[in-house]
A and B are shown apart, each in its own frame.
Chain A
Amino acid sequence: MRIELEKRPTPSVLYAVLSPFVALVLTVITGGIMFALLGKDPMSALYSFFVEPLLDVWSLHEIAIKAAPLILIGVGLSVCYRSNNWNIGAEGQFIMGAIAGAIVPVVFHDWHSPLVLPLMLIFGMIGGALYAAIPAFLKANLNTNEILSSLMLVYIAQLFLDWIVRGPWRSPEAYNFPITRDFAPEAVLPEILASGRTNLGFVFAIVAALLVWFMMRYTLKGFEITVLGQSERAGRFAGFSSRRMIWFSMLLSGALAGLAGISEVSGNINKLQPIISPGYGFTAIIVAFLGRLNPIGVIIAGLVLALTYVGGEAVQLTLSVSDKVTRVFQGLLLFFVLSCDTLIRYKIRLVFSGRTAAVAQGGAE
């Protein structure tokens, strides 16, 4: 038996909508099998992983808090990937954004002003954008592969954060714990709902997604991104510069990742510590693809992936499974999304032998 692909004349609209959902269902089924292999009752495990977090106000807030950075980063990455620029170093830009934004509340902790928070957010965006400018510069001017350079910079950013919280920025009151001083109240992103911890970061995420959606759909820039991503040659004929697009997409995604970073430490952690992200920068890659590289889709995908984080924590507590299941779920999800996307552009046929193939083809004609 072999699998043959037949190109559709036009991409299937039905599957374009359906494929993320098919992928989700397949992930859940595979996840159930995995729980069974781990010796847990699959139904109750899946229930506490995917359903229980949705029934409780506290965990709904947790989902929103975790979705905010995923959506912010995912939106930026979707622009990058659409324009064929493979920034996979968002995790590093997230960290550098957090560090740059934290300059204000850590170094100038005596300064109290309503300007503190806006300045932090701006610094965060600049920090993330500058860090993304390195692979952008290397790609645009020195022809260096952005996948590898942006990823190497993640490790460097993690080590830099580790150094800064253990060294120069370590809080004098923290008894040698590697943490900075707590952010002052005016440096903390305010909560937006009375019922729980969801902070302004979630609003940033939704606004960013809507703005980028508008840009992609209604502006020339959005058209330029799509054209250059699909065919650089065609873009050049239209007078678009792929070099400028490298800068634009990398700086935009870097700035959004940086904003996510500073929002996370300001709204959720309230200080810097050696580890400030459970891999948001990498999970956001899955978010971008599950959202079909569409900003509105990214909002939904970000919520789904946030659910896998919260669900993972839940099963860790209730079933004493390790938190690694979250990573497994996320990896599986991306796999299934990518394979289901094939259905959009191709018809899949199972061929059992040469002869039946001929018959099947004859029957189709």
Chain B
Amino acid sequence: MGIVEAILLTVITAATPLVLAALGELVAERSGVLNLGVEGMMIMGAVLAFAATDATGSPYIGILAGIAGGALFSLLFGFLTLTLVANQVATGLALTILGLGVSGQIGEAYVGMSGIKLPEITIPLLSEIPFFGRLLFKQDLIFYISIALVAGVNWYLFKSRSGLKIRAIGDNHASAHALGIGVIRTRYLAVLFGGACAGLAGAQLSLVYTPQWVENMTAGRGWIALALVVFASWRPWRVLAGGYLFGAVSISQLHAQALGLGIPSQFLSALPYAATVVVLVLISHNRRMTLINTPASLGKPFVPDR
């Protein structure tokens, strides 16, 4: 295996959780809900995936537990912001704070324990293609899901009828409601999907990226995923591209640390966060483009009149 191959493999592993979490958030935001709790849902997914894997010995059950954990946690957000119309920004923050606390509490028993890594699935024939075969067709299940989901969500949002409804709700919930679309119901489902994706992203962290439980192991990836959605101007394929770009940045800093360029490691570790800010600035400084791309009802509360 060549060095380029090895580096690209690590980039893929670093990018997958970002892509997944951002994709879920993208769907929620397309429906007009701004869920800042991605970090919290992700860390819940990570700890529950690890715990379930440890209990059953099967990382696949771990994946399911991670998805369920993220989804259940997002329901809490949905109940507050959709049913009780609480402030979405504040509730998202609450979700993150609570998630970090609860996961730390659950994960207490698993600190320092070595986990089970999700096995790779080799796809016959395709995996024998030189270079790309190893990169794309000898991967774990979560990677395959992430690619399929990007394609699926893109098709769903832009080619299906109910995807159109989601976008309609996100752009103008009052009109959508007047047309008889169930605004609250659809938003619940979108939030739930976002939570499931964040949970899956968390499962990837504790089953693939570093197969163990470390407190606060998401390390801001949930927030980077939120930035990715803006970066991608709410389009699934751009989430994929952006996720890999950010994955590359975070991996390059690890390699730079290994090379020992004489730059303090802390400065290199800060690189992904600084890159996020820079990218955000580049994307959003054009006010008109931002206005065109942002779902118009994003973050606004909705109470159906009757």
How many A residues face the partner with a CB closer than 8 A? 48
Task: Tell me if A163 and B102 are in contact (CB < 8 A).
Answer: no
In the complex, per-residue mask of B89-125: 1 if CB is within 8 Å of any chain A CB, else 0: 1110111011111101100100000000000000000
Asked if A142 contacts B303 (CB within 8 A), the reply is no
Contact call A5/B80, Cβ cutoff below 8 A: no
Q: Which residues of B are interface residues toward A (Cβ below 8 A)?
A: 36, 76, 80, 83-87, 89-91, 93-95, 97-102, 104-105, 108, 219-220, 223, 226-227, 230, 264, 266-267, 269-270, 273-274, 276-277, 280-281, 284-287, 290, 303, 306
Are B266 and A143 within 8 A (Cβ)? Answer: no
Q: Which residues of A contact B220 (CB under 8 A)?
A: 151-152, 155
Residue of A nearest to B288 (CB): A143
Would you call A335 and B266 a contact (CB within 8 A)? no
13 further contact pairs, Cβ within 8 A, besides A5-B83, A152-B227, A338-B87:
A5-B84, A143-B290, A144-B280, A148-B280, A159-B270, A289-B90, A324-B102, A326-B101, A328-B98, A331-B101, A334-B97, A334-B98, A342-B86
User: Bound complex: CA of A327 vs CA of B285, how far in Å?
Assistant: 36
Of the residues A149, A335, A342, contact of B76 by C-beta under 8 Å: A335
A260 within 8 A of B: no
Give how many A-B residue pairs fall within 8 Å (CB-CB): 140
Nearest Cβ on chain A to B53's Cβ, whole angstroms: 21
Contacts of B276 in A (CB 8 A): 148, 152
Chain B residues with CB under 8 Å of A138's CB are 277, 280-281
Chain B CB within 8 A of A330 CB: yes
The residue in chain A whose Cβ has the minimal distance to the Cβ of B34 is A147
Shortest A7–chain B CB gap in Å is: 7
The B interface, classified by DSSP as helix, strand, loop or mixed, is helix
Query: Contact: A327 with B100, CB < 8 Å?
Result: yes
Q: How many Å lie between the Cα of A319 and that of B94 in the bound state?
A: 27
A335 near B269 (CB under 8 angstroms)? no
Q: Is the CB of A143 within 8 A of B285?
A: yes
Query: Which one, A153, A155, A330, A346, contacts B101 given CB within 8 A?
Result: A330
Given contacts A86-B89, A153-B277, A338-B90, contact A163 B264 (CB under 8 A): yes
Contact present for B303 and A7 (CB under 8 Å): yes
- In the complex where A155-B273, A160-B270, A331-B94 touch, is A338 in contact with B284 (Cβ < 8 A)? no
The distance from the CB of B201 to the nearest CB of chain A, in whole angstroms, is 17
Taking CB atoms, residues of chain B closer than 8 Å to A88 are 93
Q: Give chain A interface residues in 102-125, CB to chain B under 8 Å.
A: none
Contact A325 B230 (CB under 8 A): no
Establish whether residues B83 and A328, one from each chain, have CB atoms under 8 Å apart when the complex forms: no
Q: Are A156 and B86 in contact (CB under 8 A)?
A: no
- Distance in Å from the Cβ of B29 to the closest Cβ of chain A? 12
CB nearest to B91 among chain A residues: A338
**Residues of the A chain whose Cβ atoms lie less than 8 Å from the Cβ of B84:** 3, 5, 338-339, 342, 348
Does the CB pair B80–A144 fall under 8 Å? no
> Which one, A7, A147, A159, contacts B266 given CB within 8 A?
A159
Q: DSSP class of A's interface residues: helix, strand, loop or mixed?
A: helix
Chain A positions within 8 Å of B, measured between CB atoms, are: 3-5, 7, 81, 86, 88, 138, 142-145, 147-149, 151-153, 155-156, 159-160, 162-163, 166-167, 282, 285-286, 289, 322, 324-332, 334-335, 338-339, 341-342, 346, 348
CB distance from A144 to the nearest CB of B (A): 5
Interface contact A155-B284, CB-CB below 8 Å: no
Given B85, B102, B281, which contacts A328 in the complex, CB threshold below 8 Å?
B102
CB B138 to nearest CB in A, in angstroms, measures: 33
Q: How far is the CA of A285 from the CA of B95 in the complex (A)?
A: 13
Complex: A151 Cα to B277 Cα, angstroms: 10
Q: A148 and B270: CB pair below 8 A? A: no
Contact status of A327 and B104, CB under 8 A, knowing A145-B284, A342-B86, A346-B85: yes
Give, as a whole number of angstroms, the nearest-CB distance from A180 to chain B: 16
Closest B residue by C-beta to A333: B94
* Residue among B85, B220, B270, B306 having the largest count of chain A Cβ atoms under 10 Å: B270
Report if A335-B98 is in contact (Cβ < 8 Å); known contacts: A148-B227, A167-B264, A324-B108.
yes
Q: List 23 A-B contacts (CB under 8 A).
A: A143-B285, A144-B277, A145-B230, A145-B284, A148-B223, A152-B276, A155-B220, A156-B273, A167-B264, A282-B97, A285-B90, A285-B97, A324-B102, A324-B108, A327-B97, A327-B98, A331-B94, A331-B99, A331-B101, A331-B102, A334-B93, A339-B84, A342-B85
